[in-house]
Amino acid sequence: MLELSASILLSFLAMMQTDPPCFTASSELVASYVAHEIKLDAAHPAAEWRGASPITFCSDWEGKNPDPGRETRVRVLWSPRTLYLRFECRYRELYLFADADANGRRDHLWDRDVAEAFLQPDPSRERYYREFEVSPNGMWIDLDISPSGLADLKSGLQRSVVLDEKLRTWAAELAIPMKSLTAHFDSKAVWRANFYRVEGTKKPRTYLSWQPTNTREPNFHVPSAFGKLRFVAAAEQSSKSGRGIER
């Protein structure tokens, strides 16, 4: 769903304080455990998101030309049934499709502004991974990537998006069924992943990346450049905090 308001973004902006630099040096993102399913609400983030440490990026696909005005933060939560993603984005301009399928799905969404997640549950199969995209106005696409090309994943994802044109910010939350990602989820497994943004109305457009792909031309489909996605198990998380996720 898409909600438009400035006042409802107070929580979102608090989570995007610019004290840290607009990039995260680590190549690992940690997904925090949630004991129950959470409600998606990009404008009013659930308390559980505060327990998820973000990664931040604002540089291009070569790791160059940092732009804090296009900063992106990504947080990940997980339950045995669902992987949750939250994007928090600053932008300089909007370039959006006005049309989509009735459910919000839009082919070729990458031709406009998007935030993207590439997830690889089995790193031993380097050319196999999943791609998820969401736009500032709530459109989405999910794809199954393999050596034979791309196909509709039909993951059953849910999403919530909020856009504030006055503050030039937008946020999106995705809930992706684990069964669409892996047949047998193991919280001890380390996945590979990368996160991206595309923005701009004119070529050359802006292509931002968490882990640089270092290709000559913009290219996000470089699995060898993916970072790591690790899952904090319930017992490990509880021992660190003494009381589980902070609320």
Question: Which tens digit of pLDDT belongs to each residue from 7-49?
Answer: 444 444 445 444 457 888 889 999 999 999 999 999 999 999 9
Alpha-carbon span 166 to 74, nearest angstrom: 22
> At 162, which CATH number?
2.60.40.1190
pLDDT for 8 equals 43
Q: CB atoms < 10 A from the CB of 11, how many?
A: 18
Buried b (16+ CB within 10 A) or exposed e, 41-64: bbbebbebbbbbebbbbbbbbeee
Task: List the one residue out of 129, 161, 155, 136 whose CA is nearest residue 42.
Answer: 161
Question: Does 181 map to a domain?
Answer: yes
pLDDT for 243 equals 42
**Which helix or strand (DSSP H or E) is residue 41 part of?**
none
pLDDT beneath 50, residues of the chain: 1-2, 4-14, 16-19, 242-247
Pairing of strands 72-78, 82-90: antiparallel
pLDDT for 233 equals 79
Question: Does 246 map to a domain?
Answer: no
Question: Does 247 map to a domain?
Answer: no
Percentage of the residues of the chain whose pLDDT score is greater than 70: 86
Half-sphere exposure of 134 (CA within 13 A, CB side): 28
Question: Does 64 map to a domain?
Answer: yes
pLDDT for 93 equals 95
Question: Which tens digit of pLDDT belongs to each residue from 172-192?
Answer: 999 999 999 999 999 999 999
pLDDT for 235 equals 54
Q: Domain of 225?
A: 2-241
Question: Does 109 map to a domain?
Answer: yes
Task: Domain count for the chain, please give it.
Answer: 1
Buried b (16+ CB within 10 A) or exposed e, 96-125: bbeebeeebebeebbebbbbbbbbbbebee
